[in-house]
Structure 1
């Protein structure tokens, strides 16, 4: 008697949003299939049970499943008129089996007594199995934590082989991943000044604010990769959380000021922020340079930051010439960000109010088309009327013409870094782009569409002509082309797949209409 393929994967045969499922149809082997399955109940733990039995048999050398199957066969043969059924059914479980009271390991009283001995438990591998089972049961927790964690760069981003400036802070470390780097030490002294200024602004003592932060910072440790924070004691970790939060709050306070009403008493703090404005702006948007948002909020309980104004100061950051693009100011709603990068990405992406209900089940796109080639088939490139990245789309404007609209972009090295890190955040927090809303993969879609449009430097120039690329003080045509080529291997975002499908459909219909017109003149 050996386990069969049918014993595994059964619990995945229903909607992932369900935790239980009732079905009269089950198949599997006695001793391996989970007991509740015989009652027509499938749970998320059914696979774990089957795997656990196999692991225990390997570790202990006992074939519990075989004994249970034999016992079941004997019971079936003892039933009146069941001989033929037992012969035809073998060891597989049919639809007539609805319950079992069998011990899946067939443990006798003697074995149970022996298992009570802790040394035997260790010898038989139960101590080895328990952490494995616990790890499987914690999978759902890990998935739920994806959106909250402070992630490292995913393999897909590392594979882009981008310059170090896209991942390494220039002047200030936020959180533990870059803490202690020699070239960032000047900012450590500035953080102490920021904490003092927070205390002065709020009228509360540093100790009072620190106590509030510590209550959250202890839990924040679990949001970082354990192998990188395991060696950091609370004596180092907790003050780091506090001073980093004070630094961010002071920076947000200054950046949200539009009428010089914010008072920064310390001249050295003002000087540091003013002289390193672009570098700090770069550093706070690095994926690996983040602080859990609840820790920042703990300081904001004492120092009020007008988040609406702060967000609006960055909402149109990807454009030089905003004009009327920014539109109405943003109000902070119910969105609960994991960190500052997540907060700003949310409002830069915006909401795609025009997305259809249809989800295209496409895992790859079979063609690419440049800006020049789009023009040849009657597609006009057009900058969208807002700065929000999610407002991208393709629409026909007649039988033989169409428009592809994207948010305009002023591409320099700093904004390129923002885009890369926002895309990295999407890759880390959304496991399945096709099952998520368009906004969850909007930056990846945006970068892929721009990358699709450029194959030569002339294509980059075409984007400038169409005002999709703004300004001339950022990356030159060669540098922009190199950047767009580097992001072509990003995961396909849902907006990108939809637009590429629309372009392909349009191109096919246009060719058909052209052929009909050629032969019929209509």
Structure 2
């Protein structure tokens, strides 16, 4: 038995699916389904460590500019754009000064980069690197690498750039399409760290092992310090009771993190680029990467979303938590209510592009946990109106320097358009909120809290007046003089039993 498929057009290559053939037997069709590798059927998407932003992220016009660099291009995707030419000349100037101040010959530095060209090309989408020959590609990543190094080590201030330009550079370094592989950046940074000692001692047997452990730690500190400066938030003043309460509540989590930390902590060579580094340090925050298969957790319950003011009306308060992993949201039970502990977040010009590029990174990397995407969607569920933003600002959770409460609410609405969070994200938090929201006893107490307290105050006031009147009457009666036999008055009356006895 055969299945005839009448198809027009020329015959197709054997690498295509048998369904494109003029005819095929049932046996060959089933054989294709069972044996062919979909990665080699010509339809699989190219997987890269520095991919293009998916088209669905660019569909929102309000978000389009969040994926494009403003002042500086890194890598091939945006190289050569006219609006970025000013910074290209600065890159050349900075690299020339660096080579001049270094004891390492410029030829040695350039040769090291040239040796990594073939590896570096594999990090990008293939069509983006075809326009560059090896010489031009080497020069591009050479200049980009030293530019990033100078910025990370705060050397850019010597170039007398405006504060606006520095902020724009910082923003551009967090774009998904504006990354340089650590496979190239780290060797360049070592030239500075080793002060002319070359690259001796490098382990040639392992392409991922680029330096000694001590060098890795030094480079990690440089990058972490750069991110810490960006995330720096003025500390909140706490009452004595809050300090004691927070210290006890944080102790079990600290002990757990210490005991669960793997002995082989991640080194600088385990990261692909700056955005990748930022993600695993400040978004995922558990020190372990999700490589390979993904685990899907079963969703045991459905929980609706409530805004900040809805939760506030049922006794749930909001508190800033002391953690730099800004996705680490928790729920804490109290006597009659509860509290949502949410890390502090500064809303600035670069916040929206950062969150969107982190979400795009999660999508491209296939991270089912989708921590950043789930976080912004969770925050969007809390922020329905400007009043919700106002409440979070009053608690020190949101800090903004760019606009009104309504504008901040609009930013979260725009960020979450077309985003799909992990359905299991914050499941425990949402379950605790739902349980509290549905608690009949707590809701009754909270509902009648104001009438009851008003009645208590009212009757306490009446009771206080009556009690004061009685006390005044008794005091006056006690002080009134009493007449003694013989017409004399005494200020202190003689008890009756003593009078008759005498």
TM-score greater than 0.5 by the shorter chain: yes
TM-superposition CA deviations, 1:252-310 (whole Å, max 9, x none): 1226xxxxxxxx8xx9x622486721111111111111111111012112112754143
Partner of 1:458: 387
Shift of 1:136: 4.7
- TM-score (structure 1 length as normaliser): 0.63
Deviates more, 1:198-207 or 1:368-377: 198-207
Which whole-Å CA distance do the structure 1 matches of 2:15 and 2:138 have between them? 43
For 2:321, which of 350, 373, 384 is the aligned residue? 384
1:506 to 2:436 alignment? yes
SS for the counterpart of 1:317 is: helix
Query: In structure 2, what is the equivalent of residue 484 of structure 1?
Result: 412
Residue 163 of structure 1, CA deviation: 4.2
Name the residue aligned to 2:27: 65
More moved, 419-428 vs 493-502 = 493-502
Q: Who is 1:246 aligned against?
A: 146
- What CA deviation, in whole Å up to 9, does each residue of 1:404-455 have, x standing for no partner? 111111212122222222222222213423xxxxxxx332232122211111
Secondary structure of 1:301's partner?
helix
Q: What corresponds to 1:338 in structure 2? A: 272
Per the alignment, do residues 412 and 332 of structure 1 end up closer, same or farther by CA in structure 2, a change over 3 Å counting? farther
- Whole-Å Cα distance in 2 between the matches of residues 198 and 429 of structure 1? 35
Pick closer, same or farther for the CA change 1:386–1:134 going to 2, 3 Å: closer
Could you tell me how far apart the structure 2 residues matched to 1:284 and 1:458 are?
Answer: 33
Equivalent residues, number:
378
Contact 1:282–1:417 (CA under 8 A) maintained in structure 2: yes
Residue 58 (structure 1) shift: 6.1
Cα distance in 1 for partners of 2:297, 2:440 equals 23
Q: Which runs of 5+ in 2 are unaligned?
A: 4-13, 194-217, 239-249, 255-263, 288-294, 448-502
Query: Are residue 282 (structure 1) and residue 210 (structure 2) matched?
Result: no
Q: CA deviation at 1:156?
A: 4.2
Aligned to 2:462: none
Shift of 1:391: 2.4
Gaps of 5+ in 1: 4-51, 70-103, 106-129, 256-263, 434-440
Partner of 1:161: 61
**Equivalent residue number for residue 333 of structure 2:** 396
Does the alignment pair 1:315 with 2:251? no
| Correspondent of 2:285 among 336, 351, 357 | 351
State the SS of the aligned residue for 1:410.
Answer: strand
> What SS does structure 2 have at the residue aligned with 1:162?
helix
Q: Evaluate the alpha carbon distance shift between residue 469 and residue 133 of structure 1 in structure 2; reply closer, same or farther with a 3 A threshold.
A: closer
Q: Is 278-287 or 416-425 further displaced after alignment? A: 416-425
Bigger Rg, structure 1 or 2: 2
The answer to whether the 8 Å contact 2:113/2:184 transfers is yes
Picking from 280, 287, 291, the partner of 2:180 is: 291
In the alignment, the residues of structure 1 paired with residue 136 and residue 25 of structure 2 have an alpha-carbon distance, to the nearest angstrom, of 51
Work out whether 1:229 is the aligned partner of 2:129.
yes
Residues 24-423 of structure 1: matches in 2 within 5 Å? 55-56=17-18, 59=21, 61=23, 63=25, 65=27, 135-136=40-41, 145=47, 149-254=49-154, 270-272=159-161, 276-304=165-193, 306-315=219-228, 317-318=230-231, 320-322=233-235, 333-334=266-267, 336-349=270-283, 351=285, 360-362=297-299, 367-398=304-335, 400-423=336-359
